[in-house]
Amino acid sequence: MKKNTKKLTLSALLSALALITFMIENLFPPLFFPGARMGLSNVFILLCVVLLGNKYGFAVLIVKVTLGSLYSGNISALMYSLPSGLIALIIQVLLIKYTSRLSIIAISVTGSVANAVCQNAVFCFVMKSFAYLSYSPYLALSGVISGAIVGATVFFLTKKLRKIKFLQDIYFT
């Protein structure tokens, strides 16, 4: 199998995992506040950035958000989920690229908080009401928790996954 085909296969697998996690997570009530979720599907997006590169990470994000909104029957969520997800991922990509000695957990926490606040801000803009900004402190706090969990998961997964032959084939062909 060619290197690019392997990358495409792995990114498709990560997209499917992100989508399934997102759909399962949607079945549960929010954490403490409306809109607050663990965001465990972001594990696969961040993992894709680390394993395959930025463009694959962005592709997985777009697939997850678009199909997730369609399957959950809430297409309007696309309006505020996609821009906030893109902003958060850009921040994470820049932090990975330009900062040395910053742990993946700190990067994930920063991105997660940015995602939560941006999503709330875009939602306010779409709804034309700033009253919804009152949720932003709570969403930011939930972003800290979910970001730490996502970051720690990616950290441990990366340690394990680098030993897998399929991944070695991608890097050494």
Q: Which is nearer to other proteins, 82 or 104 (by Cβ)?
A: 104
- Please, which residues have CB within 8 angstroms of residue 72's CB and are 6 or more apart in sequence? 23, 26
Q: Which is nearer to other proteins, 62 or 161 (by Cβ)?
A: 161
Shortest Cβ distance from residue 86 to other proteins (Å)? 19
CA–CA separation, 59 and 95 (whole Å): 19
Q: By CB under 8 A, is residue 133 in contact with other proteins?
A: yes
Binding range to other proteins, per CB under 8 A, among 15-23, 60-68, 82-90, 165-173 = 165-173
What is the Cα 138 distance to its own chain's centre?
A: 19
Shortest Cβ distance from residue 50 to other proteins (Å)? 5
Question: Which two structure tokens, joined as six digits, stand for 80?
Answer: 């505020």
Q: Residue 73 belongs to what H/E stretch?
A: none
Query: Among 1, 9, 71, 129, which residue interacts with other proteins (rule: CB under 8 A)?
Result: 129
Q: By CB under 8 A, is residue 131 in contact with other proteins?
A: yes
**Residue matched to tokens 């309006």:** 79
DSSP state of 4: H
Query: Among 78, 79, 122, 144, which residue interacts with other proteins (rule: CB under 8 A)?
Result: 144
Query: Among 38, 90, 106, 122, which residue interacts with other proteins (rule: CB under 8 A)?
Result: 106
Binding range to other proteins, per CB under 8 A, among 10-18, 61-69, 81-89, 94-102 = 94-102
- Please, which residues have CB within 8 angstroms of residue 45's CB and are 6 or more apart in sequence? 14, 18, 57, 60, 61, 64, 89
Q: 105-115 as b/e, with b when 16 or more CB fall inside 10 Å?
A: bebbbbbbbbb
**Binding residues for other proteins (CB under 8 A):** 3, 26-30, 33-35, 49-53, 74, 76, 96, 99, 101-107, 109-110, 113, 117, 127-129, 131-137, 140-141, 144, 152, 154-155, 158-159, 162, 165, 168, 170-173
